[in-house]
Every structure is written in structure tokens, then in C-alpha cells.
């Protein structure tokens, strides 16, 4: 992708897809309260399912109605991270999952955030999404609702618990695998892309995925084939 080629259709905040994204963000504190307050686990899972539906719907509408926007592309990965971190922290506070798992997942996000200032020196504000990163997020967003449903004793709860932990372990492994691939992409980018002046560096929150204005770094394999510029 040419860094100067925009991948968005509109540059305004208030669109239907963005409204759905903001609505999904409002569900984060609600889920935390449902898990920690009344411990309404089934209702919390329903809210998570609705959040997943709006996640699919806002992307579909943005493409169908040509309302892809810069803020929308920033909100989606932010919402995914917030849901994952909020759920695992809540489950750890309830004693359903161990705190080491929270630390392992949070450390990976800290690692990705640490790459952003490095990317800025080359004129990029994000990394292109890798399919492993998508698969990891998918696994984790399915894992912890199932673990939550499996917190109580019972046959169906046991099935949910086993399935949830299977998704959680696979998702955690893929999460870190994708993270290490992002580190590798950043190293390749440093080797193949000259620094840009500070006034031309992007400003934005850390996230994974193409940004509308700056585009995405070249694929690491392609970079090595071309050699250093």
C-alpha cells in the first residue's frame, strides 16, 4: 500500500459504524460490573455476544455504506484489547483464572505498545495485521466467556470450562507468536526504511492494523528480497 493512499472513505466521527463502536466501548464497564458486582455471569456473556455482533456489524456497514473512517479503524482494535483486559482482570479478581495469565497477556500488549515510537521514526503509526493476530484475538474473545460460564459445578459447566481453557491456551500462544512476528516486522522495517523528519511522524495511539493516512510497513519477506533501500 502506498503510504499516501488513504484507505478510508470519510473523515468524520459521527457515522453509524462509529456509533456502534462507541456503543461497544460502553459495554466494557458494564461487563466488569456484571462479573464483579451481582456476578450475573450469563448476562455478562450476553453483553459480550452483543459486543461481538456489533464488532462484525460496524465493519460490514462501514464497507457497504462507504463509511470507513480513521477513528473507526482506531476504535476496533482498542475495543478488542479493552474487552480482553477487562474480562481477564475481572476473572482474576473472582479467582476464576490465575493472575499469571493476566500478566502474560498484558505484557504482550505492552511489548506492542513499545514498538510504536520506533515505527514513528520511520513514518508509520501501526503494523499490518497478521492473520495469527486475528486468530489469537478470536480465540481469546471466545475463551474467557466460556471460562466464566464454566465457573460453577455441573456437566455443561465442565464442557464450557474445558473448551474455554483450550481456547485460552491456544489464544495465548498465538497472541505471543503474532507479537514476536510484529517485532520481526519492526526490525525489518528499521533495516529497510530510512528515518523520517520528526515533523512528518504520525501521532496516534498504539494499535495493530493499517492506518488510513500512513499506510502499512512493507511485508518483512518482501523487504528482505528488495534489500536495504
Q: What is the pLDDT of residues 123-179, one digit of tens each?
A: 887 777 789 998 999 999 999 999 999 988 888 999 999 999 999 999 999 999 999
Whether 41 has a pLDDT exceeding 80, the answer reads yes
Question: The domain containing residue 122 runs over which residues?
Answer: 16-226
204 domain-assigned: yes
6 domain-assigned: no
Q: What total number of domains does the chain contain?
A: 1
Among 67-81, 103-117, 144-158, 210-224, the minimum mean pLDDT is found in 210-224
Identify the CATH number of the domain in which residue 98 sits. Answer: 1.20.120
pTM greater than the 0.85 cutoff: no
62: helix, strand or coil:
helix
d(CA 222, CA 138): 27
Q: What is the pLDDT of residue 212?
A: 35
Count of positions (residues) in the chain: 229
Query: What are the tens digits of pLDDT across the range 182-197?
Result: 999 999 999 998 888 7
Whether 100 has a pLDDT exceeding 70, the answer reads yes
d(CA 50, CA 2): 36
Q: What is the pLDDT of residue 64?
A: 86
d(CA 112, CA 116): 7
Amino acid at each position: 500500500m502506498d503510504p499516501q493512499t488513504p484507505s478510508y472513505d470519510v473523515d468524520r466521527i459521527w457515522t453509524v459504524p462509529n456509533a456502534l463502536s462507541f456503543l461497544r466501548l460502553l459495554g466494557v464497564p458494564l461487563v466488569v460490573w456484571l462479573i464483579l458486582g451481582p456476578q450475573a455471569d450469563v448476562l455478562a456473556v450476553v453483553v459480550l455476544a452483543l459486543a461481538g455482533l456489533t464488532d462484525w456489524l460496524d465493519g460490514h456497514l462501514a464497507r457497504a455504506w462507504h463509511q470507513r473512517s480513521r477513528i473507526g479503524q482506531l476504535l476496533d482494535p482498542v475495543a478488542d484489547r479493552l474487552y480482553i483486559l477487562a474480562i481477564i482482570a475481572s476473572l482474576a479478581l473472582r479467582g476464576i483464572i490465575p493472575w499469571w495469565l493476566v500478566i502474560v497477556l498484558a505484557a504482550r500488549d505492552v511489548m506492542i505498545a513499545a514498538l510504536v515510537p520506533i515505527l514513528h521514526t520511520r513514518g508509520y503509526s501501526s503494523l499490518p495485521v497478521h492473520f495469527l493476530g486475528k486468530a489469537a484475538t478470536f480465540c481469546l474473545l471466545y475463551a474467557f466467556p466460556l471460562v466464566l460460564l464454566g465457573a460453577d459445578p455441573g456437566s455443561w459447566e465442565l464442557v464450557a470450562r474445558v473448551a474455554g481453557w483450550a481456547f485460552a491456551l491456544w489464544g495465548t500462544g498465538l497472541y505471543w507468536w503474532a507479537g514476536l512476528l510484529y517485532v520481526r516486522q519492526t526490525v525489518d522495517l528499521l533495516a529497510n526504511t530510512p528515518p523520517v523528519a520528526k515533523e512528518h511522524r504520525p501521532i496516534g495511539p498504539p494499535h495493530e492494523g493499517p492506518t488510513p493516512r500512513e499506510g502499512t510497513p512493507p511485508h518483512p519477506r518482501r523487504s528482505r528480497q528488495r534489500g536495504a533501500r
